[in-house]
Structure 1
Amino acid sequence: MDKVKVAILGGSGYTAVELIKLLLRHPGAEIVAITSRQSEHIADLHPSLLGRLDLRCEPFDPDALKSKGTQVVFGCLPHGTSMESIPPLLERGMRVIDLSADYRLRDVKVYEQWYKETHHDQKNLAQAVYGLPEVYGDKIVGAKLVANPGCYPQTAILGLAPLVANKLIELTGIVIDSKSGVSGGGRTPKLSFHFPECNESVTAYAVGTHRHTPEIEQALSDVAGAPVSVIFTPHLMPMDRGIFSTIYATLTRAVTEAELVELYRSYFADKPFVRVRTNPPATKDTTGTNFLDVCVKVVRGKVLVLAAEDNLVRGASGVAVQNFNRVFGFDERTGLM
């Protein structure tokens, strides 16, 4: 089988370099182009790639990408920018796996409310598939446009999916308390990510206004078949990478912890990247992997879900490769185990 020819938009960021590393070991992928406003060799932008990939970043040009035989493009661009770049790629017959937020929310009004951007590509938004394989796997197969999920939402959605699917918790008042490493904020320098600002300090941010809230609610509502509302609060932690979410919900009936563990194991039995734990996970347990570790506990009539992932792999580039595998018919684990 010929390798799928791949291009990456926005090659200078953290998600791009993680994606490149994963694709270099994927037997069915060949990276033929990387775009960036910085016309440098990719190893100059990311020294870890020295001797592993001999490509120079080039300006974004859909026709040039098409001429290279590009079959799929991974978009590692900021929200607001992706929706301007993706339409010409789709028009030229290339598939797209977009790591931005531009195609995640089905309701344009919700997107514009939370992202403060006017959506300019409602046509393609209508055909986008939300790229969480454990929930929307069948729809991802063969999709032309996959909206890669956010990092925080994956811990919340997969952490809660077995409970909302079985109507075991109240669908309102769910509290999601999440912590993330500094790399979650991207590579562009910002004061809050400056070492003296974030080291030996923990802070909450975007309290009540974080843009991942409607994404979490949309997916959980799909799973539940009814509206779900959450209170989501993210925190910045003084570590490079990793996400840890502690989720609190109210049970609708008496259930034992052992029953819930069995429920989770059954629900994720055919999902190779979700590991159900009986003890709380740690972020280091998932570092550098595409695994999402989840633990469920019952405490005084409440259910607590604890979930951990690597925000750069499972939270972004790893699940993008997982989606790539589904789109092109590879085993879901290819290049990721």
Structure 2
Amino acid sequence: MPCAVFGASGYSGVELVWLLHNHPQFSLEYAFSSSAREDAEPIASLYPQLAGQLDVILQPWHSDLLSQLSQQVRVVFLALPHEASAELAPVLVNAGLVVFDLSGAFRLRDPSIHQQAYGFERAANIPETIAYGLAEWTTLAGTEQLIAVPGCYPTVTSLALKPVMSFIDGVPLVNAVSGVSGAGRKAASHTSFCEVSLSAYGVATHRHQPEIAQAIGHDVIFVPHLGNFKRGILATIYVPLQQGVSQASVDTAYEQAYSATPLIRLRQQPPAIRDVVGTAFCDIHAVVHQNHLIICAAIDNLLKGAAAQAVQLANQYFGCDSALGLQQRGGVV
């Protein structure tokens, strides 16, 4: 299946490039850079660790390439800034391409909430139905034109909470810590290792809060944190429970939800970030304590939280095994 990646020079984009390059059913035909770079260049010039392994050429995108792209490619993955995706995705859809978008441009259904979260209006010419692709909880028909890939924090939080939503009595509290790669590749002092100290950010204002609430159908209190490590997310979630909910009931709910999902691992002890970095797994551990459920969940933000989930959805879209090409440990960044 011939594919193209837009935003291939960024962290999530290069992970997509590497996954598609090694995938048995997808063929990477084009890799476009994240910005209007002047000249084409080998991807190894930005990521020397790929030298001798991947000869993909990063090239700038120009609209006059659309006709050529639509004739040679079936699937496009967008790892672009939100507003860039909002502008480009409808153009690609109208050209007959299937688009998996990793930005937040199309995740939120309510236009007013989207405006508040992202600061720009939704495009008027988007498809009427946009699939929200939380992979383990989404069934794609293979006819959708545009699939919104969830954000990294909503992915780990929703996967942790959805099996136990019927037990909740109150508002869950989500504390989640992400590595600095979640801020993207562009250099900034606040994401420099010399500057980063474990700290909360976006308290009560982070755009992933309404996405989490939409995904689970329930309000949450969400507090993200930035840690001085490269990649991965660890979420600790505190859930008030209805009276009488037992550990056995919780365990059964998770088993029923995830026994047939190869990329979810139910753990007997709290996961560490090192357990999931470089993988497409989400690891979950849940304990009932004092009428609360404490859930610890971990993912790689660039893989399960972005590139690998997009490929997982594409697998599903085209009738492949959900985990095809995703069970090896790797990662570029």
Coarse TM-score class (shorter-chain normalised) = over 0.9
Equivalent residues in 2 for 1:25-104, closer than 5 Å: 25-36=22-33, 37-38=36-37, 39=39, 40-62=41-63, 64-68=65-69, 69-104=72-107
Q: One-letter code of the match for 2:230? A: D
Provide the secondary structure at the position in 1 that maps to 2:87: helix
Q: Deviations over 1:119-174 (max 9, x none)?
A: 2x2442532101111111x236432111011001111111110111xx2112x421
Q: For 1:141 and 1:246, how far apart are their aligned partners in 2?
A: 35
TM-score of the two chains, using structure 1 as the length reference: 0.92
Q: Is the 8 A contact 1:261 1:276 kept in 2?
A: no
Equivalent residues in 2 for 1:120-159, closer than 5 Å: 121-124=123-126, 126-136=128-138, 138-139=139-140, 141-159=142-160
Match of 2:13 in 1: 16
Equivalent residues in 2 for 1:284-303, closer than 5 Å: 284-303=274-293
Match of 2:250 in 1: 260
Unaligned runs of 5+ in 2: 328-333
Report % sequence identity. 40
Q: For 1:13 and 1:238, how far apart are their aligned partners in 2?
A: 19
Match of 2:312 in 1: 322
Match of 1:224 in 2: none
Give the superposition deviation at 1:253: 2.4
Q: For 1:122 and 1:213, how far apart are their aligned partners in 2?
A: 24
Q: For 1:183 and 1:125, how far apart are their aligned partners in 2?
A: 31
Give the stretch that moved more between structures: 63-72 or 86-95: 63-72
Q: One-letter code of the match for 1:130? A: Y
Q: For 1:142 and 1:253, how far apart are their aligned partners in 2?
A: 43
Q: Does 1:220 align with 2:216?
A: yes
Provide the secondary structure at the position in 2 that maps to 1:89: helix
Q: For 1:79 and 1:239, how far apart are their aligned partners in 2?
A: 25
Provide the secondary structure at the position in 2 that maps to 1:195: coil
Match of 1:251 in 2: 241
**4+ long deviations beyond 6 Å:** none
Q: Is the 8 A contact 1:7 1:65 kept in 2?
A: no
Give the superposition deviation at 1:262: 2.3
Q: For 1:192 and 1:72, how far apart are their aligned partners in 2?
A: 35
Q: One-letter code of the match for 1:220? A: I
Query: How many pairs were matched up?
Result: 321
Q: Indicate how the Cα distance of structure 1 residues 73 and 9 shifts in structure 2: closer, same or farther if over 3 A, else same.
A: same
Q: Does 1:231 align with 2:225?
A: no
Q: CA RMSD in A?
A: 1.4
Q: Is the 8 A contact 1:140 1:146 kept in 2?
A: no
Q: Deviations over 1:92-130 (max 9, x none)?
A: 1111000000010111111001111122x2442532101
Equivalent residues in 2 for 1:161-240, closer than 5 Å: 161-164=162-165, 167-170=166-169, 172-198=170-196, 201-221=197-217, 228-240=218-230
Provide the secondary structure at the position in 2 that maps to 1:160: helix
Provide the secondary structure at the position in 2 that maps to 1:207: coil
Q: Does 1:112 align with 2:115?
A: yes
Q: One-letter code of the match for 2:19? A: L
Provide the secondary structure at the position in 2 that maps to 1:139: coil
